[in-house]
Structure 1
Amino acid sequence: MLYIFDMGNVIIEIDFKRVLGVWSKLSGVPLAHLVERFTMGEVFQQHERGEISDEDFAAQLCREMGIALSFEQFSAGWQSIFVSLRPEVITIMKELRAQGHRVVVLSNTNRLHLDHWPVHYPEIEQNVDALYLSQDLGMRKPDPAIFQHVLEKEGFSPQETVFFDDVADNVNAASALGIQAFLVEDDQTLPRHFSGNQIT
């Protein structure tokens, strides 16, 4: 079987409010204003597809939110999204690989975050067979093409594939292709899933 894991709030605990909190403190703009103004719109999606540079992304997002930050300040806030690794998921991935299954990560992410998580959470790369990252592929979930790309590269059919993600749109897109897709709602979703489904 092929097991595909999303990264944020699946393998790593993330909290976007932390990002906005840092930007609020550094810019002097009230947090409530940033919450209202921030959207994961086209600029955000372009960045995750690797279509614009980190610097352009930072400048455009600051302009959208009406805040003045240096690139270094923007980056400091951007990296504060990461809270901690979910060690129980690393254990599950290890067990799956030990049983001969293929384990990969499929994540909507960006170059800025590549400066952070591989260094702080090396356990991820150490315990997967491949990383499929949106900015490298030029496409992002829930685009069906990104799932099809992974299936073709890995040589598995949708029926031989299990996918875990914390975003319902991504889960629905994978399900529409015939992949066994599950929504990760909290840090207990995966332990519960595998306690009821023995890894064989």
Structure 2
Amino acid sequence: MQNVSLCYHFGIGVEINYQKSFEYCKRSADLGNENGMNSVGKCYKHGKGVDQDNNKAFEYYEKSANMGNKGAMYNVAGCYRNGIGTKRDIQSANYWYKKNKSLLKTNKSPDHINPELKKILDDERFKLSWIDYKNLKNIKERGKGGLATQEFIQELKNYCEIGYENPSFLNCHGVSRNDDGDYIIAMMIAQKGSLRQNLVEVSQLEWRDKLNILN
């Protein structure tokens, strides 16, 4: 049923029909399929084939996440981070981001890169991947890349350390290298742009959430 839902959603072998896509993923979810539950959550969040409902989106994401679905863990973390369908809770967001990341399989870094950079990439805590630049899609540049200098390596390490403790604030996915030879840090999109700009968001948090970030 979940596969049929995907066919209707993406128009594979049939015309795109979001209502039917929702119908089939809902059936799948009702039978206890974790992927179906996550898909139902997405439908409710984006209003695809059903009226938009953040509360129901969170409900289905959470059910799927509790069954071990990695995508749902990431989605429920985002709900807690942004207060979508539930009360904003940085501590819970961090919990689910960390749980999601602990299950990720990463691409091994190549042997020919800077040894200090490779050490960070291979650190099991950070779960970073070496990303082929050709596989990056919808890139939004937030800063300039660079060579594997001490400054770049220290910046990456700082980002990783912050993200390890507080992934709801900063989340690094991996490192890539463009055609000019510059290294690039691939990060979760930050609506405010750079780390410096995101600090403005921290200053506006309630004291309880600020303390959660420090814990």
TM bracket, shorter-chain basis: under 0.3
Give the structure with higher Rg (CA): 2
**TM-score for the superposition, normalised by structure 2:** 0.23
Q: TM-score, normalised by structure 1?
A: 0.24
